Amino acid sequence: FAINMDQLQLDEELGKGNYGTVKKVLHKPTNVAMAMKEIRLELEDSKLNAIIMELDVLHRAVAPEIVEFYGAFFIESCVYYCMEYMDAGSLDKLQAAGVPEDVLARIAACMVRGLKFLKDDLNIIHRDVKPTNVLVNKKGQVKLCDFGVSGELDKSLAKTNIGCQSYMAPERIRGESQNNLGTYTVSSDVWSLGLSMIEMGMGKYPYPPETYSNVFAQLTAIVHGDPPELPEAEYSETARDFVARCLKKEPSARATYKELLEHPFLIKDQTSDVDMVAWVEKAVAFKQAAAIIAAQATLPESV
């Protein structure tokens, strides 16, 4: 069935991305809570129709590690994209609570299975793997969202926010990985997976803070510096090796998804009894406490 705005009751804002806002909505006919992303575009209607058609492939992206797509529609040059509501939000906001090795392994296993499913079953390369695009729910499930299915949509997004924190592989920064068809290879996503894992392990973006505000310095560090590593004090040799296999600067040297699934780090996860529900609960509580402290800090002193 097709979703339209009249069927939706708008609730609170869940977050703001580079290209638009995400709101919680209730789909009244089915009583299903959804997340609705608004993407503002300046385009003629024919392009909008092409985008909606391209997004249709998402109806086939059904897997335990992929955020479910419910439908998209547009109103006045905005695309509205409705997806499964993930009630613990994105990993970038949960990692501050600390990510122990068994939790990191489960997250990695979900990400690798999700990425492999997209590639093998739908021939989709994610292109934007980062902690913001990994969503979690209170059942302890970990799912990917925001993968590149629509070339038209991609072309229409104003890529203003290219800097900040880049998860791009060195070859993408150098501009090598795009062949003349404009496609890039799956191994660029493997790099971004490795970098995301280090960010979760360290609780912060792994390249030095002085590069945050200087795009050129950051991209130079990614292309010319040594790849970052998981901290030795907190993670086993197995975990560190897994990540190192993702973060080879030479794309052909990186592990494939099949190799990653066969790595001892993920083999061990298959029999691990990690309590993801408890971890998510703790991480959400930590996030809420941090938000209260931040709100208090901005109050005027007289209050």
Give residues in contact with ligand ADP (CB under 6 A).
14-19, 22, 35, 37, 67, 83-86, 89-90, 132-133, 135, 145-146
Nearer to ligand ADP, 35 or 266 (CB): 35
Nearer to ligand ADP, 158 or 253 (CB): 158
Specify whether the CB–CB gap between 91 and 85 falls below 8 A: no
- Tell me 100's DSSP state: -
Question: Exposure string (b/e) for 201-235, b if CB count within 10 Å is 16 or more?
Answer: bbeebbbeeebeeeeeebbebbeeeebbbbeeeeb
For the record, the structure tokens of 118 come out as: 């997209």
Contacts of 8 (CB under 8 A, 6+ apart): 25, 26, 27, 28, 34, 36, 82
Q: How far is the CB of 266 from ligand ADP (least distance, A)?
A: 25
Integer Cα distance of 132 and 94 in angstroms: 10
Q: How far is the CB of 45 from ligand ADP (least distance, A)?
A: 24
Instruction: Decide if 92 is catalytic.
Output: no
Q: How far is the CB of 278 from ligand ADP (least distance, A)?
A: 20
The half-sphere exposure of 233 on its side-chain side, counting CA atoms within 13 A, is 1
Nearer to ligand ADP, 147 or 235 (CB): 147
Q: How far is the CB of 131 from ligand ADP (least distance, A)?
A: 9
Give the strand order in the sheet containing 142-144: 89-90, 134-136, 142-144
Nearer to ligand ADP, 35 or 103 (CB): 35
Q: How far is the CB of 99 from ligand ADP (least distance, A)?
A: 17
Nearer to ligand ADP, 17 or 98 (CB): 17
Question: Exposure string (b/e) for 138-155, b if CB count within 10 Å is 16 or more?
Answer: eebbbbbbbbebbebbee
Q: Which of 128, 146, 189, 269 is catalytic?
A: 128
Is 37 known as a binding-site position?
Answer: yes
Indicate which residues carry an active-site annotation: 128
Instruction: Summarize the annotated binding site as residue ranges.
Output: 37
Instruction: Summarize the annotated binding site for ATP as residue ranges.
Output: 37
